[in-house]
Structure 1
Amino acid sequence: MAGLRGNVAEARLISFPLSTVALTPSSPSLAHLNVSSILDFHSISLLSLYASQESPLLSAMAVRLAAGGDTSTQDGFNYPTSWWQVSMWLTFAPDLTPRNAATFTRVRHVLHASSGDSREPERGGPRKWQSDPHLASPIFEQEKGEKHGKGEKEGPGATQDGAFPRSWLANFSQEELLLSQAFADYWQEEAVSAMQHSWRGYKLFAWGHDELLPLSKKHKDWIGAGVTLIDSLSTLWLMGLHEEFRQGEAWVRQYLDLDKAGRGSVFEITIRLLAGLLSAHALSGSRVFLDKAKDLGMRLLQGFVTPAGFFLREIVLGNGTAVLDTEAPILSEQGSIQLEMRYLSYLTKDNRFQRAADRALRAIRKAAEASEVHLLPCRLSKTDPPLFSGYKISMSSESDSYYEYLLKQYIQTNETEQHFLDGWVSAVRDMFEYLTSETKVSRLLFLFEVEGPARHFFHHHLTCFVPGMVLLGVHVLEKDHNRQLWSGMNVTAAELARWRSQAHGLARTCYHMYARSPTGVGPEFVRLKPEMEMEDKEDLTYPARGAHYLLRPEAVESLYYLHYFTGDPRYRVWGAAMLQAILTHCKTDVAFAALEAVTEVPPKRLDQMESFWTAETLKYFFMLFAQPTHPDAASGPQTGWLDLSKWVLTTEAHPFPILQNFSRAPFV
């Protein structure tokens, strides 16, 4: 028993092949367990639970679940008891208890209070141990008839009988959610510590520059405007790191001089710098961020010079000169600046920004008029009328955020511009029909690329944003005031239920990208095999040219949305596994570094730390583990819990408020 528990502690949250574990049964019962060839976190938790033998009830659950009995999901366990798996890792992980004694005590109390009861925990309803002070939590009582937003109670954020949203309590008991939160508290602290470590390294070796080089301890500039600093501000604010935020604010006020800025991508400048400044203003109310954002926006307008209405790809910010080029406009770039430009127009009452962005989007729609499907090629022409250039269709690079912004523009405009929702629904429907496949062995649902008649069975890390986007869209469609639109879009409840299931399936594949790699870190892309050949041993493989990891956020981004709308503890468990692997392999003495190949142990680190590491990846980890708060709580977004009925996240994860009174220059 001691040997098994030692292996569990050593393995921690990282998935690993069965052959690496010395499974020496400590009792006859353990010998007959039908353990799969890959032990993921859930299996490790169950085995540690069984080996502990501290509770007959828990041991019985472990035997049944680890043996594959009475299960109904692809993940191999029955979700009415999935919370035990979460709690067991927290309870038996030796390095947690010294750092979080209060959490440990609370979890142990729940376990021992319930271990004498042979019945399965009930859903909802009161528990005899709820009065224990260790389990005390704020009760969010909501008066009858109280409304949120457009006449209905929103899901997450609106709570009923405890500290958790109604939609969570519909599927998980208070005790399950308390244990999930106790588990999450530790990992949220880890995310904050990682952010503080990254910020200190940036401040020490790259202050005011665009990027930190985490191995050489030098800096890199691609435009010369403090990109990492500005991109990090909203994360610092949400994490409550207000001293660090004020340091960044002081630099912006004193040293951000756009007259000295160089040449860069209009798209990247918009999503990182402009969005970062606007979000910092929205969260803090500081005027300096808005003033700088307007200055930046005026310079970006000089790039919108093509006859079709597209912007040129690069601009010299210092003098506002667009760089002439022959490259074809990219779908994701031209269609993913609209949130930022619309919000800037809203704040400044200057419609030029929104009009420029809308003109680019109209050009895309004009080119799409002849298309029979709503999935568009990645490249366009600069001619008027514009045409599509090339035949590559995907949900990955050069396309991804175009579809994301169709949905989020509908949300940003307070769900008043229905054409955005119409376009998004049609695109997602076509995506599931034309771009999805599933492996036969592991039943991994994935998105592939199409280029002319060829299909490329690669699932990219960038496409891992899709599950979260889909579930966000399903939530929007299921609001009462949007149900009346279903008939016009041919939407049915059955279709939305399928989309929910498919969103989970895609997220599961993204988790497997991490869990099956030797390091536990996910690569840039994997190859999936829908049809296995005789010589094939795995249906998910790691091509050498896609084995690198750039500290990308998309996988945890989707886990955040899936957990936000469901409260399912498994998404936090998956996220913790991913974060643990990243902390183990990417952390340097000053910050965090990208990896050359996640297939090598130990992996070789790259002298690179993109700003989206602090802007997105760490923010999504932090929010995944955040404690829910009442939508009317005074602390608001400072707690890390964003009420998505009031906020929308940009493609760089910068929170913008939903424009509740949107009426300015609607899209034409």
Structure 2
Amino acid sequence: MLVDNAAWFDYTNYSTTAALFRRPIRLLSLLGGIAIFYILVIFVPKAPETLYGFKYVKSSYDWSALPQAHPVAELTPLPTGTPRSIPQVQYDFAAHYRPNSTRLDVLAERRQAVKDACRKSWDSYKKYAWMKDELKPVSGGSKTTLAGWAATLVDSLDTLWIMDMKDDFYEATAAAVTIDWETNETSFNTFETTIRHLGGLLAAYDLSKERALLQKAIELGDMLYAGFDTPNRMPVFWMDFNQAKRGKLQPNVHDPTSSVTSSGPEFTRLAQLTGDSKYYDAIDRVARFLQRTQNTTKVPGLWPTFLDMEFGDLTLENDFTLGALADSTYEYLAKMHVIVGGLEPMYETMYRQAMATVIDNLLFRPMLPEQDDILFTGDLSVDAATGEKTLPGDSQHLACFAGGLFGLGGKIFGIQEHVDIGGRIAKGCAWAYDAMPTGVMPELFSLFPCTSLDGCAWDEDKWELKGNATLARGFQNVDDARYLLRPEAIESIFVMYRITGDEQYQETAWRMFQSIRNATETDLAFSSISAVTTAGGTAKIDSMESFWTAETLKYFYLVFAPPDLISLDQYVLNTEAHPLLRPTGATGS
């Protein structure tokens, strides 16, 4: 503390000063004043500073200044050179698509209906849950579910921009750049924070070029980077603040696969925008780990649902899926190939090996009376003793993203079979929507799998013996009847529309949107529901996760939008639907 000596200790008049210290009341007042000063300096939040036109609040802790307990001797830099030519992903709408005015009016009306749903949701969030993680869409309260860092606000920034809600975008941006990445929580989920917050900030920057957003993303990126500071540089899933600051983080032996391998696009884009290779080095080490272990598992080509990140032994796990806990690991292989400009060949190699194994082991065509040519992805178990594989016909809403995964990968790597499979998966999920009384797909369900992707004859006796007579013919059961406002089915419908130009996908999307709106709308917004199997309405769960506005409504809007809005040849969408710019010139441009 800097003080004026003459104000309190006059060496030329010691008697005056001594008299001061002989008076206890004055002494206590002096000490109290000093204490108040320190409280104001240390504990009161910092006043905003003006940064790039916004009132900006720096985080309380500077993670960029934290020394690495396990430093990297030599950072792996971003791949250099001119990006390789990557095949066009989107259908050539300019050359082949000429919608008439009536069709354009229909699409405009549908976009407006989606935007109205977003406007209703956003206005209620602003009124009842501003700067909180989630709105309670039934009661009007709020939830803290992701460390209290305004998840819905940050996650929705690019949606506001894309839907031309610019006033709301700038209001939300002004709020976002005041977030302090310190929290009352002792730890946080690094995966969700990466895909929602970091992805949201980077996409909002790529769209708007507002540099305050990039600065806030750098703060967050430095905090997330600390999660890689372990003895073997493998990341943690839950980052304990105290352990991270003491350099005591340890990788775990049983982490969900996607949670510790899905920072690639976000960290790569941050490295491109900042020129700091530490972010790329962090995720490159994880990718090398995936490359080394891909063929060491009980199903060579696939990674199990859980990973041992401490010792790297993946031979003991028996479960494999494209669904929850593993999804974005596979989703990001083709997307990483694109965002590094095709300059790192391991991503294509891993994609081809993984998807070939998925086709042979995880996909199934259901037994249906109408012989619909559709596919689903299942959950595979391997018997620990015999090695026998079992695919019982279980599937899940979350796994519907696989239609887009195959569609994009097929276009990027020139594999038409994958494009066709992507369409069959997307149409399978649309079938599951139509099959429910509400017109909405459940969280978890089971079907009768054929032994071949070419299909099988309908077996009435099997259906009557094991099927659920309260459901559409073909279902064994619905194991979780909820709908959580999920985006994965419309994600694949959107991707398949953009890469094929087939208007039937738009018609499917409109039918899905109307069903979702009818089943989930509340007075305030839209809510998760407890049972899609109940005709005429079902109980609301009073939950509206941030992906409702960040993903679900965004995909519905884009499927009806002009195809040059967020073109798949210009952007890579992360697993939370945040569009990150693809490199077009030298890497890092």
1:575–1:621 CA contact under 8 A, matched in 2: yes
Are the structure 2 counterparts of residues 363 and 626 from structure 1 closer, same or farther at C-alpha, using a change threshold of 3 Å?
A: same
Are the structure 2 counterparts of residues 211 and 318 from structure 1 closer, same or farther at C-alpha, using a change threshold of 3 Å?
A: farther
Find the aligned partners of 1:301 and 1:403 in 2 and give their Cα distance.
22
> Which residue of structure 1 lines up, in the alignment, with residue 340 of structure 2?
413
Superposition RMSD on alpha carbons, in Å?
2.4
Find the aligned partners of 2:138 and 2:435 in 1 and give their Cα distance.
27
1:224 to partner: Cα distance: 1.2
1:507–1:558 CA contact under 8 A, matched in 2: yes
Alpha-carbon displacement from aligned partner over 1:518-570 (angstroms, at most 9, x marks no partner): 11111112211136405146553374531101100010001111111111111
- For 2:376, the aligned partner's letter is F
- For 2:398, the aligned partner's letter is L
Find the aligned partners of 1:319 and 1:221 in 2 and give their Cα distance.
23
Is residue 426 from structure 1 mapped to residue 356 from structure 2 by the alignment? no
Find the aligned partners of 1:212 and 1:319 in 2 and give their Cα distance.
32
Residue among 140, 149, 153 paired with 1:217: 140
Residue among 301, 310, 313 paired with 2:225: 301
Q: Which moved more, 1:505-514 or 1:537-546?
A: 537-546
Are the structure 2 counterparts of residues 151 and 340 from structure 1 closer, same or farther at C-alpha, using a change threshold of 3 Å?
A: closer
Residue among 543, 553, 557 paired with 1:618: 553
1:261–1:316 CA contact under 8 A, matched in 2: no
Are the structure 2 counterparts of residues 499 and 367 from structure 1 closer, same or farther at C-alpha, using a change threshold of 3 Å?
A: closer
Alpha-carbon displacement from aligned partner over 1:312-346 (angstroms, at most 9, x marks no partner): 11125699558768661221122211111111111
> Which residue of structure 1 lines up, in the alignment, with residue 385 of structure 2?
none
Find the aligned partners of 1:389 and 1:461 in 2 and give their Cα distance.
28
Matched position secondary structure for 2:426: helix
> Which residue of structure 2 lines up, in the alignment, with residue 108 of structure 1?
none
Alignment of 1:224-235 (within 5 A): 224-235=148-159
2:86–2:342 CA contact under 8 A, matched in 1: no
> Which residue of structure 1 lines up, in the alignment, with residue 51 of structure 2?
none
- For 1:448, the aligned partner's letter is G
Residue among 239, 251, 274 paired with 1:348: 274
Residue among 401, 421, 441 paired with 1:502: 421
Is residue 598 from structure 1 mapped to residue 532 from structure 2 by the alignment? yes
Alignment of 1:127-526 (within 5 A): 154=88, 156=90, 164-166=93-95, 168-169=96-97, 174=98, 180-222=103-145, 223-253=147-177, 255-260=178-183, 262=185, 263-316=187-240, 321=245, 328-371=254-297, 373-441=300-368, 442-443=371-372, 444-452=374-382, 453-478=389-414, 496-526=415-445
Matched position secondary structure for 2:302: coil
2:110–2:510 CA contact under 8 A, matched in 1: yes
Alpha-carbon displacement from aligned partner over 1:165-214 (angstroms, at most 9, x marks no partner): 33x44xxxx35x76544432221111111111110010000000111111
1:328–1:379 CA contact under 8 A, matched in 2: yes
Find the aligned partners of 1:153 and 1:502 in 2 and give their Cα distance.
19
Find the aligned partners of 1:258 and 1:331 in 2 and give their Cα distance.
25
Alpha-carbon displacement from aligned partner over 1:236-260 (angstroms, at most 9, x marks no partner): 101111011011011123x311133
Matched position secondary structure for 2:380: strand
- For 2:329, the aligned partner's letter is Y
Matched position secondary structure for 1:451: strand
1:370 to partner: Cα distance: 2.3
2:447–2:476 CA contact under 8 A, matched in 1: no
Are the structure 2 counterparts of residues 157 and 446 from structure 1 closer, same or farther at C-alpha, using a change threshold of 3 Å?
A: closer
Find the aligned partners of 1:540 and 1:261 in 2 and give their Cα distance.
49
Matched position secondary structure for 2:395: strand
Is residue 627 from structure 1 mapped to residue 546 from structure 2 by the alignment? no
1:361 to partner: Cα distance: 2.3
> Which residue of structure 2 lines up, in the alignment, with residue 107 of structure 1?
none
Are the structure 2 counterparts of residues 157 and 281 from structure 1 closer, same or farther at C-alpha, using a change threshold of 3 Å?
A: farther
Find the aligned partners of 2:476 and 2:485 in 1 and give their Cα distance.
17
Find the aligned partners of 2:314 and 2:357 in 1 and give their Cα distance.
21
2:252–2:310 CA contact under 8 A, matched in 1: no
How many equivalent residue pairs?
477
TM-score by length of 1: 0.68
1:156–1:165 CA contact under 8 A, matched in 2: no
2:252–2:309 CA contact under 8 A, matched in 1: no
Q: Which moved more, 1:419-428 or 1:263-272?
A: 419-428
1:519–1:599 CA contact under 8 A, matched in 2: yes
Alpha-carbon displacement from aligned partner over 1:428-481 (angstroms, at most 9, x marks no partner): 121111112212323332211111133231121111111112111222123xxx
Alpha-carbon displacement from aligned partner over 1:353-378 (angstroms, at most 9, x marks no partner): 11112222222333334246212111
Find the aligned partners of 2:496 and 2:118 in 1 and give their Cα distance.
23
> Which residue of structure 1 lines up, in the alignment, with residue 518 of structure 2?
584
Find the aligned partners of 2:510 and 2:357 in 1 and give their Cα distance.
33
Residue among 619, 642, 654 paired with 2:578: 654
1:518–1:600 CA contact under 8 A, matched in 2: yes
2:272–2:587 CA contact under 8 A, matched in 1: no
1:231–1:273 CA contact under 8 A, matched in 2: yes
Are the structure 2 counterparts of residues 207 and 310 from structure 1 closer, same or farther at C-alpha, using a change threshold of 3 Å?
A: same
- For 2:538, the aligned partner's letter is P
Are the structure 2 counterparts of residues 627 and 249 from structure 1 closer, same or farther at C-alpha, using a change threshold of 3 Å?
A: same
1:225–1:256 CA contact under 8 A, matched in 2: yes
> Which residue of structure 2 lines up, in the alignment, with residue 571 of structure 1?
505
Find the aligned partners of 2:190 and 2:424 in 1 and give their Cα distance.
35
1:542–1:599 CA contact under 8 A, matched in 2: no
> Which residue of structure 1 lines up, in the alignment, with residue 75 of structure 2?
none
Matched position secondary structure for 1:526: strand
> Which residue of structure 2 lines up, in the alignment, with residue 43 of structure 1?
none
User: Between Structure 1 and Structure 2, whose CA radius of gyration is higher?
Assistant: 2
Matched position secondary structure for 1:545: strand
- For 2:506, the aligned partner's letter is R
1:499 to partner: Cα distance: 2.5
1:155–1:165 CA contact under 8 A, matched in 2: no
* Unpaired segments ≥5 residues, structure 2: 1-82, 383-388, 451-458
> Which residue of structure 2 lines up, in the alignment, with residue 541 of structure 1?
475
Find the aligned partners of 1:344 and 1:429 in 2 and give their Cα distance.
31
1:394–1:450 CA contact under 8 A, matched in 2: yes
Find the aligned partners of 1:655 and 1:502 in 2 and give their Cα distance.
24
Find the aligned partners of 1:427 and 1:151 in 2 and give their Cα distance.
23
Find the aligned partners of 2:422 and 2:355 in 1 and give their Cα distance.
11
Residue among 607, 611, 616 paired with 2:542: 607
Matched position secondary structure for 2:391: strand
Find the aligned partners of 1:367 and 1:270 in 2 and give their Cα distance.
24
The percent of aligned pairs where both chains have the same amino acid is 30
